[in-house]
Amino acid sequence: MKKLALIVLPSLAVFLGIFVGSYPTNPLNLTPGAVNIIWEIRLPRTLMGVSAGIALSLGGMTLQAIFRNPLVDTYILGVSSGVALGAAIAVAFLPFAGIAPLALLFGLLAVFFAYWMARINGRISTVSLILAGIIVTALFSALLSLLELLLPSESLYALVVWLMGSLSNADWETVIYSLPGVLILAFLLFLLRWNLNAMSLGDEAELLGLNVHLWRGIFVFISALMTTLVVSFTGIIGWVGLMVPHMARMLVGPEHSRLIPATVSIGITVMVLADIVVRLLPGDVPVGIITTLVGVPFFGYLLRKTGGGWS
């Protein structure tokens, strides 16, 4: 029953994502105008939602496994602050370069900076990596605030709206740049699922012959790359990487051969349905607002249930 639900729910969400919106489209009687709307707007937007759901959810799942803490996701490593700073630099100084390339570059730069800072005496502990991520986030956020003071009001408004996270700017170009890479990295994670199982044991994984520090770096890089491949196009969409992996873990357990497919399924469902809600609301509401409104009470539930520890 669970397997069937994990197949049906994302399929239904994608179907609704293609046919539900402010402009009525009947799948049994498509007019030329409806076909054009579906092909040019709804299908790429829905596929970008699929990409975002997979990347953000698997990114959070991976870090929760290697840190053995259900209350972390990729943004704790400075990804969001790096992406935001890159976007601000593009808007302020390099508009011809586009937001996405610089957002991607600075998102990865933030993670590498955090990883370099956390390396002490050739070793990287979980605590030092999280603390380094907090430091990088603070630094990049301060630089972002400085840039925001320099931007004219029109550019500042555009940047703030972009940072809230939205799929409304999705087109076939952004889908082509994002989705194939995300699918490849998701498949790579599935191939490495046994290593991820071992890493979830903590330092005890060394008893199994696993180089903990090497594999921690590999999984951090994979999760960061997946996340930046999405948020560099969509802006910051928070809480998905926190909520979805825990929902999947409650449903199928912690073993990653089952957890990875479940996380993908729930991630797609949550992200696409959140975007459908946004389409039906008046105005252009960023989807990041919806995920935050759902994620905040869910975070409170997790905190009270787990006490911040691994469950």
> How does pLDDT run across 211-252, given as a tens digit for each residue?
888 888 899 899 999 999 999 999 999 889 989 998 999 899
- Helix or strand or coil: residue 120? strand
Q: What does the pLDDT read at residue 307?
A: 60
The structure tokens listed for 266 are 């729930």
pLDDT, tens only, 173-210: 999 999 999 999 999 999 999 999 998 887 677 777 78
What is the Cα–Cα distance from 84 to 106, expressed in whole angstroms? 8
**Higher model confidence: residue 177 or residue 74?**
177
Ordered by start, the domain boundaries in the chain are 2-306
Residues for the chain: how many in total?
311
Q: What does the pLDDT read at residue 123?
A: 73
Residue 86 has pLDDT above 80, yes or no: yes
What is the Cα–Cα distance from 119 to 127, expressed in whole angstroms? 11
Average pLDDT over residues 268-283: 93
Tokens 């975070």 found at: 299
Q: What does the pLDDT read at residue 17?
A: 96
Q: What does the pLDDT read at residue 47?
A: 98
Q: What does the pLDDT read at residue 291?
A: 92
Task: Give the whole-number percent of the chain exceeding pLDDT 70.
Answer: 97
Average pLDDT over residues 56-73: 87
Range scoring the smallest mean pLDDT among 115-129, 134-148, 171-185, 192-206 = 115-129
**Per-residue confidence at 136, pLDDT binned at 50, 70, 90?**
very high
Q: What does the pLDDT read at residue 309?
A: 55
Where on the phi/psi map is residue 307: left (φ > 0), alpha (ψ -120 to 50), or beta?
A: left
**Higher model confidence: residue 142 or residue 77?**
142
Average pLDDT over residues 43-69: 94
> Which residues have CB under 8 Å from 30's CB, separation 6+?
38
> Which residues have CB under 8 Å from 19's CB, separation 6+?
25, 26, 27, 38, 42
Average pLDDT over residues 77-89: 90
What is the Cα–Cα distance from 159 to 164, expressed in whole angstroms? 9
In contact, 240 and 56? CB cutoff 8 Å: yes
- Helix or strand or coil: residue 5? helix
In contact, 156 and 193? CB cutoff 8 Å: no
pTM of the model: 0.91
Residue 156 has pLDDT above 80, yes or no: yes
Residue 70 has pLDDT above 60, yes or no: yes
Place domain 2-306 in its CATH homologous superfamily.
Answer: ABC transporter involved in vitamin B12 uptake, BtuC (1.10.3470.10)
In contact, 144 and 84? CB cutoff 8 Å: yes
